[in-house]
Structure formats: C-alpha cells, structure tokens
C-alpha cells in the first residue's frame, strides 16, 4: 500500500508495512508525477529485509536520476539502521527527518523523538540530544549506539542545500496524510492480512504515528484454545487411572 500526492515542484509518496520480497517499488514509478523533488515518507515502514534493501537501492538509484532531489522523511529506526549499515542505501538522498528511540532504564519508559537533520547539522550536533523523562532521577538514553545511529549526518553535511522552499516538507506531510491509500496491483490478500497482524509495540509517548522495532513485532493472534475433546480424553484417562489405583489399594487392604 502506498499514498501518493503531488504539488508545485514536488511529488510525494508514503510507504507502509514491510519492504521485503513482496515489495512493489517498481510499480510506483508510473504513479509518480514528474517534479524537481520527490519526497518519500518512510514513517510507517516497520521492517525491511535483505531483498527489500536490494530492491530499494535499485529503486532509489533510478529515482535519483529522475528527480533532482530525493528527500526521505520520518525515517524509523529500521530504516536508519540500513542507512548507516549499507553504504548506498540512501546514496544521494536527503534524510530530512528521522526517528530516534529512547529508553529510560529507571522507569522503563520508551519513547521516540522525531529529529530534523538540518537542525542537528546547524547546531553541529553529531550525537543524540538528551530526551527528558518526567521524573528528575530518570535518565533517558538513546536505545541504540549513538555514534552508529548518527553516522549518516557526515554524508548529509556534505550535500548542497535543498532547493525546496521553506515549509514545503510540512505541506507535503499534510498532503500525504490526506491522500487515500492506493493498493498496488497484485497486492495479495495475504499481504494485507500480514500487515494488519503486526501490532504497534510502542508506548503512547510516541511523537506521531508509531513504528515498531523489528524485534518487538509480533503476531497478535491469540493462542488458540485446545479443542475440548482433548480435555475430555485427558479427564477420562485421569478418572480411569484413579479407578485402577482405588482397586489396587482396596486389594492391598483386603488381602492383608
Ligand atoms: Zn524515566
């Protein structure tokens, strides 16, 4: 599923679910209108696997040739890991906003901050800014390796400034939020079922929307109850065993 929108000078796309072997990235190209800038909102991506990474890199390389600027927004931790791990995962693309997971060891609070790369670069920050917790004694730390997580900023720092007018990213986000879901051709029922089974593992403190870390994604289908027939057989076997035991005790007592 994808949401697509466009405006003056830009074309935009919001992806959700998983980028895996069932991805339909190549089908998106014909749906996008030509523009100077392509915005790709990745906020609802929950997981990406190695085949997804391979297809994404191919797709992004083609998008970089078609659009003067490709701007990735709302990149969740699953995406940021690939950005920092896979050399050309975001090659030439601008990472405008990204999410940073925090965890407080004192109270167990998990939270997610949405950060703007341009703000961090302007302030010369290359490590996670502290995120306050409600209680004074608390310490809210990045739930990840900070140096690794923020390594991408080095490459972002070397990029030429964006040609996007001020406030465009916010307008794009609003447009995408209003755009209706566009099912891609051939997307199977299975794919929908798989998406809807994924639970949102984050606490309510999440800034906007919610995206899970892969390890906390789990099936929400409840454990199926045992058929009552199995229980009945078990009870009957237990009764039979008790009866045999009773007879044995009776025999022992009466034989003495
Ligand atoms: Zn705390």
**Average pLDDT of the chain to the nearest whole number:** 81
Q: Are 33 and 6 in contact (CB under 8 A)?
A: yes
Q: Which residues touch 144 (CB under 8 Å, ≥6 apart)?
A: 77, 100, 101
Q: How confident is the model at residue 49, as a pLDDT?
A: 96
Query: What pLDDT does residue 190 have?
Result: 45
Tally of residues, the chain: 256
Output the CA 136–ligand 1 centroid distance in Å: 8
pLDDT-wise least confident of 34-48, 70-84, 95-109, 234-248: 234-248
Distance CA 192, CA 115 (A): 30
Give 3 Cα–ligand 1 centroid separation in angstroms.
36
Tokens of 46: 């929950």
How far is the centre of ligand 1, averaged over its atoms, from the C-alpha of 112 (Å)?
A: 13
Residues 6+ apart with CB under 8 A from 22: 188, 191
Distance between CA atoms of residues 180 and 4, nearest Å? 8
The alpha carbon of residue 16 and the mean position of all alpha carbons in its chain are separated, in whole angstroms, by 8
Expressed in angstroms and rounded, the spacing between residue 141 Cα and the centre of ligand 1 is 9
Cα-trace Rg, the chain: 26
pLDDT at 198: 38
The SS3 assignment for 54 reads helix
What is residue 117's predicted lDDT score, i.e. its pLDDT? 93
Identify which of 13, 138, 140, 129 has the alpha carbon closest to the alpha carbon of residue 71.
13
**Could you give the 3-state DSSP secondary structure of residue 128?**
coil
- What is the whole-number distance in angstroms between the Cα of residue 102 and the centre of ligand 1? 10
Considering the entire predicted model, what is its pTM?
0.70
Residue 40, strand partner residues = 13, 72
How far does the centroid of ligand 1 lie from the alpha carbon of residue 127, in Å?
Answer: 20
CB atoms within 10 A of CB 127: 12
Task: Report domain extents, the chain.
Answer: 2-216, 225-256
- 8-state DSSP, 86: S
Fold of 2-216: Transcription Regulator spoIIAA (3.30.750)
pLDDT for 256:
63
Where is average pLDDT lowest: 2-11, 147-156, 200-209, 231-240? 200-209
- Kindly indicate the confidence band of residue 109, based on its pLDDT and cuts at 50, 70 and 90: confident
Cα gap 164→162, rounded to integer Å: 5
Q: Say whether pLDDT at 147 is over 60.
A: yes
CA distance 72 to 30: 19
Residue 213: other Cβ atoms inside 10 A: 19
Query: From the CA of 142, how far away is ligand 1's center (Å)?
Result: 12
CA-nearest of 61, 71, 116 to 93 is 71
Q: How far does the centroid of ligand 1 lie from the alpha carbon of residue 62, in Å?
A: 44
Under 8 Å between Cβ of 168 and 176: no
The pLDDT of residue 227 is above 60: no
């Amino acid at each position: 599923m994808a949401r697509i929108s466009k405006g003056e000078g830009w074309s935009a796309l919001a992806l959700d679910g998983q980028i895996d072997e069932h991805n339909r990235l190549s089908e998106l190209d014909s749906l996008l209108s030509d523009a100077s800038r392509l915005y790709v909102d990745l906020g609802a991506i929950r997981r990406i696997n190695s085949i997804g990474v391979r297809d994404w890199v191919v797709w992004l390389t083609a998008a970089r040739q078609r659009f003067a600027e490709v701007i990735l927004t709302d990149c969740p931790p699953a995406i940021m890991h690939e950005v920092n791990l896979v050399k050309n995962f975001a090659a030439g693309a601008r990472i405008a906003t990204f999410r940073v997971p925090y965890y407080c060891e004192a109270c167990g609070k998990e939270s997610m901050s949405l950060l703007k790369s341009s703000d961090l670069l302007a302030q010369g920050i290359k490590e996670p800014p502290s995120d306050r917790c409600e209680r004074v004694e608390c310490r809210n730390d990045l739930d990840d390796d900070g140096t690794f997580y923020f390594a991408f900023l080095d490459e972002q720092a070397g990029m030429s400034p964006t040609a996007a007018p001020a406030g465009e990213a916010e307008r794009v986000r609003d447009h995408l939020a209003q755009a209706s879901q566009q099912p891609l051709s051939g997307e199977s029922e299975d794919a929908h079922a798989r998406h809807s089974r994924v639970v949102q593992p984050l606490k309510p403190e999440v800034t906007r929307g919610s995206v899970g870390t892969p390890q906390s994604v789990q099936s929400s289908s409840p454990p199926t109850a045992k058929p009552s027939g199995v229980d009945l057989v078990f009870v009957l076997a237990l009764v039979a065993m008790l009866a045999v035991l009773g007879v044995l005790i009776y025999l022992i007592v009466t034989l003495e």
